[in-house]
Amino acid sequence: MGSSGIVFYNTRRKKKEPFRPIEPRRVRLYSCGPTVYGPVHIGNLRSWLFSDLLKRFLISEGFSVTQVINITDVGHLVSDGDEGEDKMELAARRSGESAEEIAARYTELWRQDRAALGCLEPEHNPRASEHIAEQIELGQKLEAGGYLYRIEDGIYFDVSLFPRYTELAGLDLEGQRDVQRIDAVKGKRHPADFAIWKFAEPGVKRLQEWDSPWGRGFPGWHLECSAMAVKYLGEKIDIHTGGIDLASVHHTNEVAQSECGFGVHPWVRHWMHNEFLDFGGEKMSKSKGNVRTLSDLTGRGYDPMAFRYFFLQAHYRQQQNFNAEAMDAADTGYRRLVAVAAELRGVEGPGSEAVQAPFKQRFRAALADDLNAPRAMAVVWDVARSDTLSPADRRDLLLAFDEVLGLDLAHAKPPAQEYESDPRIDGLVAERQAARAGKDFATADRIRDELDAEGIGIVDTPEGPRWRRK
């Protein structure tokens, strides 16, 4: 597995590779952050749970980790093809607020969600709008290298001048030329060419625009990540993370402009991407109105940490099915694990390092193999259920594992077991349970939603489903 004994899947190389940082014991980590024009949905949260697990594991291995997570508050257009409106400008016009007010509100909500999920704070959390000078400087480097051209609506990067452009996502540029319109943005030489700087539209006053060597306007979405990553991490980065949907456009463009602008290769040693949550084949998006947020889950009575536990049930590179049944199971599993940990808190006396060592080795081996969280969780439950380990060893192991897993087992309290009884509601709960047993999930979900509308939350306990008012 290499000198560190760790392997990670590298999206650019399409295989697992030994992890070897640029500097011994130091890791430079960049994670793509939110576009703060609305609340983040739980599909987005999976990306930050993944990068948090990665960071926690590297810290547990003795690495000093410097993580940057950006805040996109300008330049992200509705279309990835450099057409349409800026998402921040559009949200501001709809709400009547300023872009700064919207960005501040949703940035704070994002930070609250991360805190509720136990995510460690990044060392740097820069906003794109506060780093315009760095973005212009990178654009000038690219211009000096001959990579840019000017058309009516902005300054564009010519992807034909970067032979490695297709490597990260395995793109077919000729196929794109055949099937995509290049006149979507008049004057583009190739559909994949991307904006470095967009000009302010004549006669239209934007909320966010700046002067530049090319004219008044605003930076392209991709430029911000390269400029801020290099400012805070240097011109070479160990790991770059993000959702798999970013690989084919945003991250591919980051590679092109960074390697050309800074004259480095590779700019990023390890590209790591998490897969989507699967909502029954339907993509979740704000535009479709089917956003599920963390507050939606807590409103239904779930502990935020139950969602973190849910995330740990699947490998980050696998699509993960999300539905009420899966969340019920995660909620039950998390509560049971918390109950075990809480029971062990009062145990006194030391454990045995020799006894604990094989379990720690198994746990570490799982995560060292491309962050295999399900295998690591299997070790956790082996310890939690063990009738041969001493209570002190179980206590020590669970607390040690949780330094990486981030489930707050040292402090989380088991939920109060105060349930209610009412013949009508008891009957509906029993009917829902029968529907679930018969795999009639539509009926089960309908009953759950009806009870939820009455402010009644169902809790799956070892004794069966119970209910209480929220």
Location of each CATH 3.40.50.620 domain in the chain: 7-278
Write down the residue that tokens 């050309």 correspond to: 260
The tokens describing 352, both together, are 């045995």
Report how far residue 343's alpha carbon sits from residue 359's, in angstroms, rounded to the nearest whole number. 20
Q: Are 97 and 207 in contact (CB under 8 A)?
A: no
The tokens describing 112, both together, are 């609250």
Higher-confidence residue: 347 or 91? Answer: 347
pLDDT for 280 beyond 90: no
Task: Identify the three-state secondary structure at position 297.
Answer: helix
In terms of DSSP H, where are the helices of 9-82?
Answer: 42-60
CATH fold of 303-405, please? Four Helix Bundle (Hemerythrin (Met), subunit A) (1.20.120)
Specify which of 281-290, 382-391, 455-464 reaches the highest per-range mean pLDDT: 382-391
pLDDT at 174: 76
pLDDT for 86 beyond 70: yes
| Least confident range of 235-244, 393-402, 441-450 | 441-450
Contacts of 13 (CB under 8 A, 6+ apart): none
Q: Are 214 and 122 in contact (CB under 8 A)?
A: no
- Straight-line distance from the first to the last Cα atom of the chain, in angstroms, rounded to the nearest whole number: 49
pLDDT for 182 beyond 50: no
Q: Give the DSSP letter string of 61-108.
A: TT-EEEEEE-BB-S--BSSTTS-S-BHHHHHHHHHTS-HHHHHHHHHH
pLDDT at 80: 65
- In this prediction, residue 2 has a pLDDT band, given cuts at 50, 70 and 90, of very low
Indicate the residue type of 399.
L
pLDDT for 411 beyond 50: yes
Location of each CATH 1.20.120.640 domain in the chain: 303-405
- In this prediction, residue 172 has a pLDDT band, given cuts at 50, 70 and 90, of confident
What is the arithmetic mean of pLDDT over 314-340? 94
The tokens describing 14, both together, are 């399409």
Q: Are 78 and 84 in contact (CB under 8 A)?
A: yes
pLDDT at 415: 66
Rg (alpha carbons) of the chain, rounded to whole number: 25
Report how far residue 299's alpha carbon sits from residue 296's, in angstroms, rounded to the nearest whole number. 5
pLDDT at 90: 79
Contacts of 366 (CB under 8 A, 6+ apart): 372, 373, 375, 376, 378, 379
pLDDT at 1: 40
| CA neighbor of 36 nearest in space, from 166, 125, 138 | 125
CATH number attached to the domain at 7-278: 3.40.50.620
pLDDT digits 0-9 by tens, 29-51? 999 999 998 899 999 999 999 99
pLDDT digits 0-9 by tens, 334-360? 999 999 999 999 899 999 999 999 999
- In this prediction, residue 181 has a pLDDT band, given cuts at 50, 70 and 90, of very low
- In this prediction, residue 183 has a pLDDT band, given cuts at 50, 70 and 90, of very low
What is the arithmetic mean of pLDDT over 48-74? 97
- What does pLDDT average to over the chain? 90
What is the arithmetic mean of pLDDT over 239-246? 96
Report how far residue 85's alpha carbon sits from residue 90's, in angstroms, rounded to the nearest whole number. 6
pLDDT at 173: 83
Burial class (CB in 10 A: 0-12, 13-18, 19+), 449: exposed
Q: Are 30 and 20 in contact (CB under 8 A)?
A: no
Report how far residue 128's alpha carbon sits from residue 33's, in angstroms, rounded to the nearest whole number. 11
Higher-confidence residue: 354 or 416? Answer: 354
Angle at 290 between CA 111 and CA 194, to 5 degrees: 70
- φ, ψ at 445 (rounded to 5°): -65, -40
pLDDT at 466: 78
pLDDT for 465 beyond 60: yes
- In this prediction, residue 397 has a pLDDT band, given cuts at 50, 70 and 90, of very high
- In this prediction, residue 82 has a pLDDT band, given cuts at 50, 70 and 90, of low
| CA neighbor of 162 nearest in space, from 76, 32, 263 | 263
| Least confident range of 79-93, 107-121, 211-225, 234-248 | 79-93
Contacts of 150 (CB under 8 A, 6+ apart): 156, 214
Contacts of 161 (CB under 8 A, 6+ apart): 146, 147, 260
The tokens describing 407, both together, are 């489930």
pLDDT for 179 beyond 70: no
Please report, rounded to a whole number, the percentage of residues in the chain having pLDDT higher than 70.
91
